[in-house]
Amino acid sequence: MAKSDQIASSGNSVVEQTKGAKATNPAMLQKELIPKLQTTIDRMLNSVINTETGNTVKDEALDILKESIGHLKEQLRRKIS
């Protein structure tokens, strides 16, 4: 079992596991915690959420952002006209 799986199955959060003096050490954050968080975020973003299209969380989020930006641009065009 991978360490991340052990943490998840034990119910302990990363914050709980890094309590104490070690948790306040910036070098520890940069060396250990940040890469773990980045890996977790990458895994989440690359998770397939639509099996029919194969879209990932990242794909869907980008689509929503593009639509939102398009909507905002249209609203601004209407105000200017």
- pLDDT-based confidence at residue 4 (cuts at 50, 70, 90): very low
Instruction: Evaluate if pTM is beyond 0.75.
Output: no
Cβ-contact 4, 40 below 8 angstroms: yes
Q: Which long-range contacts (CB under 8 A, 24 or more apart) does 33-41 make?
A: 36/4, 39/4, 40/4
pLDDT digits (tens, 9 = 90+) for 7-56: 445 555 555 555 554 557 888 888 889 999 999 999 999 999 999 999 99
Give residue 17's pLDDT: 54
